[in-house]
Amino acid sequence: MTFQFQRPMLLVLNRTTLLVLLSLLVVLGVILPWTGTPGFMFPNATSSLAKWRDYTLSQAASFVAKNGTIIVCAVSQPYLPFLNNWLISISRQKHQDQVLVIAEDYATLYKVNGRWPGHAVLVPPAPDSQTAHKFGSQGFFNFTSRRPRHLLHILELGYNVMYNDVDMVWLKDPFPYLQGDHDVYFTDDMAAVKPLDHSHDLPPPGKKGRTYICSCMIFLRPTDGAKLVMKKWIEELQAEPWSKAKKANDQPAFNWALNKTAGQVDLYLLPQSAFPTGGLYFKNQTWVEETKGKHVIIHNNYITGFEKKIKRFRDFGLWLVDDHAVESPLGKL
């Protein structure tokens, strides 16, 4: 009687085991490809992620530097389409191998290095990626205020560094325009038209007592002067942090740093015809025609919002990711 009772139980257990195994096969074969692979089941994936988490700015700079020079941008996940657009334009000028993406969240770090190994690094702690893209927010301030620290670190490693915002497009190679051996090169953010032979000195202060230089495009040599400007920029940001009443960004602090160190540092204003602000390039078509063939890097500023920026780029034939994603080191995202 005891034997007859246990036999059906064994059959039930066998059926249950089979159902469990089938369920596991369904999970492994169907669900995981869509949700991602857990590291405990595939250790190589976990070790790869750990490798990039431990990847340092020093290692990354050494990997990408060419002729002692690095091209840097700082990107959070919402800006990945702009990163790709920018990279296409740089690839056309054969400088993509010098690019280092400073990822401001782990999703960006893993995405870029997964497709383009070694070209992204995250300097902890990572800011809140959900708010870092909202202009005027505390998240945006926290995101952009890390910039001078990154640049100072690269200078202290001994490299020349060019910084770009990723809502820019290269039309030509900018390096021939970095004439001389100045400490800091920059562009004016004012839309007023300058003479083609304008001075390359720091412009006079505006109504707020400071200049209106754009922190979007900067080239620095690893000199004491350039390091002094970065240190002063950091000090100015600390002295005037973000608040709800005064929704600051990093650009005023950069201008105060330039103004307060001007007598000690060799500064160079790049030509407006080559590096126009968006308030000039996108809004003054007469000037664009008069300076045709001279434009080098275009900045899509003087406008806020992702969709508005993309539409403007499309309207001017500068949104390259639609038809030319294959030219990016990241491919189609």
Position 58 scores a pLDDT of 98
Q: Shortest CA distance to 163 belongs to which of 180, 149, 179, 181?
A: 149
- pLDDT of 248 reads 59
pLDDT at residue 47 in the model: 72
- What's the pLDDT at 36? 37
Amino acid identity of 101? V
Model pLDDT, residue 200:
98
Q: Please report the pLDDT score of residue 277 as a whole number.
A: 97
| pLDDT of res. 298 | 98
DSSP code per residue over 36-74: ---TTT-HHHHHHHHHHHS--HHHHHHHH-BTTEEEEEE
> How much is the average pLDDT of 260-284?
97
Q: What is the pTM of this model?
A: 0.82
C-alpha 264, offset from chain centre: 29
The model's pLDDT over 174-184, given as tens digits with 9 standing for 90+, comes to 999 999 999 99
Structure-model confidence comparison of residues 145 and 38, the more confident one: 145
Is residue 37 pLDDT above 60, yes or no?
A: no
Of the candidates 55, 222, 235, 228, the residue with the CA atom closest to the CA atom of residue 145 = 235
Which residue has better confidence, 67 or 9?
Answer: 67
Rounded CA-CA distance 227/154 in Å is: 10
- Mean pLDDT computed over 185-204: 97
Which pLDDT value is given to residue 1? 43
User: Which amino acid, 154?
Assistant: I
User: Does residue 40 carry a pLDDT above 70?
Assistant: no
Residue 14 binned pLDDT confidence (cut-offs 50, 70, 90): low
Summarize pLDDT for 219-241 with one digit per residue, the tens.
999 999 999 999 999 999 988 76
| pLDDT band at residue 125 using 50, 70 and 90 as cut-offs | confident
Q: How confident is the model at residue 274 (pLDDT cuts 50, 70, 90)?
A: very high
Check whether 4 has a pLDDT greater than 80.
no
For residue 6, with 0-12 CB atoms within 10 Å meaning exposed, 13-18 middle and 19 or more buried, which class applies? exposed
Predicted local confidence at residue 39, as pLDDT: 38
How high is the mean pLDDT of the chain?
Answer: 86
23 band by pLDDT with thresholds 50, 70 and 90: low
Residue 126 banded pLDDT, cuts 50, 70, 90? confident
The distance from CA 13 to its chain's CA centroid, rounded to whole angstroms, is 56
Percent of the chain topping pLDDT 70? 78
Confidence at residue 280, expressed as pLDDT on a 0 to 100 scale: 98
pLDDT at site 331: 97
Q: Is the pLDDT of residue 307 over 50?
A: yes
152 exposure class (CB count in 10 Å sphere: 0-12, 13-18, 19+)? buried
Beta bridge partners, 73, equal 101
For tokens 């990711």, what's the residue?
A: 321
164: its two tokens: 């770009």
The whole-number pLDDT of residue 139 equals 52
CA 230 to chain CA mean position, Å: 18
- pLDDT tens by residue, 81-118: 999 999 999 999 999 999 999 999 999 999 999 999 99
d(Cα 272, Cα 264) in Å, to the nearest integer?
24
Is 219:160 a contact under the CB 8 Å cutoff? yes
Checking if the pLDDT of 325 tops 60, the result is yes
Query: Residue 159 is encoded by which pair of tokens?
Result: 């490299």
List the alpha helices (DSSP H) in the chain: 2-26, 32-35, 43-53, 57-64, 80-91, 106-115, 138-144, 147-156, 224-239, 250-261, 278-281, 285-290, 306-315, 321-324
* pLDDT value at residue 240: 77
Dist CA 282 CA 277 (whole Å): 8
What pLDDT sits at residue 35?
Answer: 37
